[in-house]
Amino acid sequence: MNRIERLNYLVGCAVANLARSRVRAGLTISGIAIATGALLTMISFVVGLQNQAERPFQSLGLLSQIRVTAPREKDAGKSTALTRDTLDQLRALPQVETAYPDLRLTNVVLRSGDYQTTARALGLPRELSLFGPLKTMLVAGDFFGNSEEFPIIVSLSCVNDLNIASPTEAVGQRLQVEVAGMQRDESGRFQWGKSTMDVTVVGVFDPPPFARDFVDSGVVMPVDRMADLPGSMFEAMVNQLRSGGEAEQAGFNQIIVRSRRVADVPDLEKKIQAMGFRTNSMVTDIQEIRRFFLFLQFLLGAVGTVAMVVGGLGILNTMLMSLLERKREIGIYKSMGASSTDIGVMFLTEAVAMGFLGGVGGLLLALVVSRILALAAHWYSLRQDVDMPSVEFQFSLGLITLALGYAVFITTLSGLYPAMRAARMHPLDALRG
């Protein structure tokens, strides 16, 4: 009998021994399944929470953005304002996809016939149409083109306020926009002004639930046209005055830099800081979120490990009882030519088999329990009339593989001692019982 045949025979004997003591083996496997299921459920819940926390940043493309502001203090004889020259310098960096001033307006009046509404405006570059996150929010129309006209994208809420029948009907309509605020005159000085213009609706967007409080009643304008509107430089002017500078020297309050890849953000931040500017990015902020969830995973993993160790002790107890009951059987095997290694492998195979079956059972248990918990949380939120996101359990292939491997590892450790005792047993002592 070659090694492969010998191993197959020993594995068959191990499986037959488990089948012979079905009740005891079943209870032991159930203990491992419960421990594995608890571990998988807890970790998958934390991973799901982390995904829910990071999804808004990913869906809006915020992870590739860097917010650039002027330094707090002004160097002697050197302006710290963010100007168009600053934009050109930032755009010249090799890792930069685009850079544009962060312009926002409040109290923008939109008129369509006898109806009007007030909205907030955000400026975005025309080339942003190349990025996916914003397009996913469009329910009608498209992003800005390269035409010379003044296109805007309005929110679904604005469409309803203007009594337009549908988002599709809103696309192509001409609206009147009125904006008031501080603006530069021909001499470069700031003065109060008002501007009214005709615009064309090229798209309608519906913000995701997590962003509706901020952009539900909003419009998006091309940043190159918005920079000339009254009020677009007001915040920069105020900050310039606070820092002791002249209002006329005010540039942009903030510049948004979008990197080509999220992985480039840390290196790109260092380059921008070396240019003398301050930076802030969501990648930096989200690291704190990831550290918290990593700590939570370790904490719940430790709790699950305790349950796994208890299950491992159950296997140790089962294997020791089996060893005492099967002394004569071990003696017969050895008298027929089985080596100590063969006996050890047979006992260890039983432990591994129980661990694997317990791991698979734990996975199935975790899938069922997580589904029940998600439905229960949804039902409870409906009963309490609370608008809350659905509870999410994330079962990745890596997590499942790790849990199954962990279950087999714990049970293998638990089966080592009984396997070694069985292997060292003398045939005559074993036959005497």
Q: 248 and 295 in one domain?
A: no
Mean pLDDT for 86-102 is 87
Which pLDDT belongs to residue 44?
A: 92
Reported confidence tier of residue 392, pLDDT bands at 50, 70, 90:
confident
pLDDT by residue (tens digit) across 40-70?
Answer: 999 999 998 888 888 777 766 778 888 888 8
Reported confidence tier of residue 132, pLDDT bands at 50, 70, 90:
low
- Which among 164, 166, 138, 163 has a CA at the least distance from the CA of 153? 138
Among 253, 281, 309, identify where a domain stops.
281
The residue ranking higher by pLDDT, 143 or 133, is: 143
Task: Look at 223-237, 274-288, 305-319, 343-357 and tell me which has the smallest mean pLDDT.
Answer: 223-237
Task: Look at 46-50, 386-390, 411-415 and tell me which has the smallest mean pLDDT.
Answer: 386-390
Which pLDDT belongs to residue 134?
A: 65
Q: 83 and 40 in one domain?
A: no
Q: 390 and 340 in one domain?
A: yes
Using an 8 Å Cβ cutoff, are 318 and 25 in contact? yes
Q: 51 and 71 in one domain?
A: no
Reported confidence tier of residue 365, pLDDT bands at 50, 70, 90:
very high
Task: Look at 175-184, 371-380, 402-411 and tell me which has the smallest mean pLDDT.
Answer: 175-184
Q: 79 and 53 in one domain?
A: no
Among 246, 281, 316, identify where a domain stops.
281
Q: What percent of the chain has pLDDT over 70?
A: 82
The amino acid sitting at 428 is: L
Q: 336 and 241 in one domain?
A: no
Mean residue pLDDT of the chain comes to: 80
Using an 8 Å Cβ cutoff, are 239 and 250 in contact? yes
Q: 140 and 107 in one domain?
A: yes
Domain that residue 428 falls in: 3-57+289-432
Q: 298 and 248 in one domain?
A: no
Which pLDDT belongs to residue 401?
A: 92
Reported confidence tier of residue 76, pLDDT bands at 50, 70, 90:
very low
Q: 298 and 224 in one domain?
A: no
Strands 278-281 and 65-69: what pairing? antiparallel
Q: 295 and 258 in one domain?
A: no
pLDDT by residue (tens digit) across 256-284?
Answer: 898 888 888 888 988 988 888 888 888 87
Q: 95 and 204 in one domain?
A: yes
The residue ranking higher by pLDDT, 361 or 144, is: 361
Among 220, 254, 281, identify where a domain stops.
281
Q: 373 and 243 in one domain?
A: no
pLDDT at position 364 over 90: yes
To 10 degrees, the CA torsion angle through 295, 297, 300, 304?
-140
Task: Look at 180-184, 328-332, 390-394 and tell me which has the smallest mean pLDDT.
Answer: 180-184
Which pLDDT belongs to residue 8?
A: 75
Mean pLDDT for 77-90 is 74
What's the total number of domains in the chain?
2
Using an 8 Å Cβ cutoff, are 412 and 351 in contact? yes
